[in-house]
Structure 1
Amino acid sequence: MSNGAPFTLHIFVANGDPDGLRLVERSNWIGKAIMFPRALYPQVRGRPEFQQIGVYLLLGPREEGDGETMYIGEGDPVRPRLEDHYAKKDFWTRAVFFIAGPGHLNKADVQYLEAQLVNKARAAKRTPLDNGNKPSEPTISERDRAAMDVFLDNILGMLPVLGIHAFEQTSLKAGESQGAVLTCQGRGVTATGVDTPKGFVVQGGSFCSKDETPSLRDHFPSISELRADILKSGVLVLDGDKFRFTQDYTFSSPSLASAVVLGRSSNGRTDWKDASGRTLKEIQETQAASY
């Protein structure tokens, strides 16, 4: 995704409303992002950016459970595709599309970007896609592929800053400094994980309770729905009388991670512990006191 180099975003709020039309440019990059809420589309579709070729994301709430659904597409230009989705797709409430200066993108380029974004979203398994089919990757030259990979990396680096985390797939590489490996145990299962800047990552190979307590379903249905979602996506698979994580998976908080693992409500700051038995809360308190 991002190579970790610092960068600057310039966000122009075109109509003075922070939730309205925003034009976002990244330092030392030819591309530009245009973000807008669906309700504003009739007022902004006449802008020249909508007449350019680009790749776009549509986002809106899931029909069931918390979180969002996403659609990924491309247009040459973008406006006719958005016109069609405005008329026919009900789920989306906001959109963002990426364009470049004249002559920098062609049809094959944005088809390549679309295919790569779909592949990465499906690999991350964080947001369900409304795309019915997997787009085919066009044949492009080695030079153009290299250029589009740089363009894609810039897009992926910007999206989390813009509040879109669907493509983030945290992989904890051996030897990397990611903080202490923590363990969560209970209800016959053991999971390991690490608290990272992107969220709490449960490591692949960890186990998860197959059963849920009635109180989880009654009082925290969104956690129960998340367990069902990641089981459906293949992040969890049945392994004997337990579920097993097939990959590293990022949760928004330690408590959400431990609640999914244990199948019950949980305070992740006390249920995740290091090899010495210190809770995450105690570790953080010690870190805070050292400054």
Structure 2
Amino acid sequence: MTLRPQTIQIFLPGGQPSGIRVAEITTRIVQVIEVPRKLLPDFFKMAESEQVGVYYLVSKPDDDSQPEVYVGQTGDLRGRLAKHDSDKDFWERVLVLISRTQSITQTHALYLEWLSIQAATKAQRYEPKNGNAGSRPYTPAPMEADCLEIFETGQTLLTTLGYPLFDAVAPQAGQKDQGLEFFYCTAGGVNAKGIYTTEGFVVLEGSIGRKNNVPSIMGTSDAAFRDKLLSSDLVKVEGDSIVFLKDHLFPSPSRAAMAVLGRTANGWQEWKDSNGTTLDLLKRQAISSASA
């Protein structure tokens, strides 16, 4: 995605910030409409529900587990989404990508669906629920160029609405050593590596954590979270250790430290750079010094 200053407009057709939201870049024809599952009947009353569109059914768990996405395309949004409402339980909201000028055809939609599944799978931020990536549909070169522009705009709008479906939580392989600041947690036999980002703290693939929880957190929400982590496909168990199989974003350094240490932890003190300087000293105290 190309980074440049952009103006994005978000319209609330029902007046509720938590309701249906319509996002667009004012100089382009692409719109992304975010619809809470409960408000599907309201969306079906909108003219936009009659268009050809690409849609994303998403879940946003509140327990730090990996969110899920199902990608689809249709010329009958009302019928298709009504069917998904009855036969798919996991999703909470749907994001619909359409054209304000109704210029997205079924051929566009098929290619955008395939491209979206490929990008979501590569990013590994959301777990794709489609089952397979499908095969690349034939698309004439001029139409493919249009699709790539539509996709880039859609990616920007989705991320702005809070759904970075195609954005990796950390730089991809081959980019991780390019000017990034790494932090390490090595207490008690743990050997974990991570990055502090604008979204939280990312524990990187290959990090090694402790398998067992300390007795003091048994029966707490922290223990329940770690039990769920150990049973997920984010990590594998090797003896008394766990190994992260992919980069994973946690909402805070402390949550990330607890995940690898198996105990309550102050991540601002546990995560340190290669010189042993804490994250707290490098980030939080640096901010305090600058403000003073």
Please tell me the TM-score bracket, short chain as reference: 0.7 to 0.9
Q: How high is the TM-score relative to the length of structure 2?
A: 0.85
Shift of 1:11: 0.8
Q: What letter is aligned with 1:33?
A: V
Gaps of 5+ in 1: none
Residue pairs, 1:149-160, within 5 angstroms: 149-160=148-159
Tell me how many residue pairs correspond in the alignment. Answer: 285
Cross-structure match for 2:198: 197
Cross-structure match for 2:229: 226
* Structure 1: distance between partners of 2:218 and 2:147: 45
Cross-structure match for 2:104: 105
CA contact (8 A) 2:120 2:165 kept: yes
* Structure 2: distance between partners of 1:71 and 1:33: 16
Cross-structure match for 1:183: 184
Partner SS state of residue 110, structure 2: helix
Partner SS state of residue 152, structure 1: helix
1:143–1:288: structure 2 CA closer, same or farther, 3 Å change rule?
farther
* Structure 1: distance between partners of 2:148 and 2:197: 26
Partner SS state of residue 193, structure 1: strand
Cross-structure match for 1:95: 94
* Structure 2: distance between partners of 1:65 and 1:252: 7
CA contact (8 A) 2:34 2:96 kept: yes
Segment of structure 1 superposing worse, 197-206 or 239-248? 239-248
Residue pairs, 1:117-128, within 5 angstroms: 117-128=116-127
Shift of 1:50: 0.6
CA contact (8 A) 2:32 2:158 kept: no
Shift of 1:211: 3.1
1:212–1:168: structure 2 CA closer, same or farther, 3 Å change rule?
farther
* Structure 2: distance between partners of 1:177 and 1:47: 47
Cross-structure match for 2:75: 76
Listed one character per residue, the Cα deviations across residues 93-138 of structure 1 (whole Å, up to 9, x for unaligned) are: 3221010144532222212222222233333333334334433321
Listed one character per residue, the Cα deviations across residues 57-105 of structure 1 (whole Å, up to 9, x for unaligned) are: 1234669985644322111132221121233333333221010144532
Listed one character per residue, the Cα deviations across residues 263-287 of structure 1 (whole Å, up to 9, x for unaligned) are: 3322211100122322111212034
Partner SS state of residue 160, structure 1: helix
1:101–1:166: structure 2 CA closer, same or farther, 3 Å change rule?
closer
Q: What letter is aligned with 2:47?
A: P
* Structure 2: distance between partners of 1:214 and 1:163: 37
> What is the percent sequence identity of the aligned residues?
30
Cross-structure match for 2:10: 11
* Structure 2: distance between partners of 1:241 and 1:41: 47
1:228–1:65: structure 2 CA closer, same or farther, 3 Å change rule?
farther
Q: How high is the TM-score relative to the length of structure 1?
A: 0.85
1:61–1:276: structure 2 CA closer, same or farther, 3 Å change rule?
closer
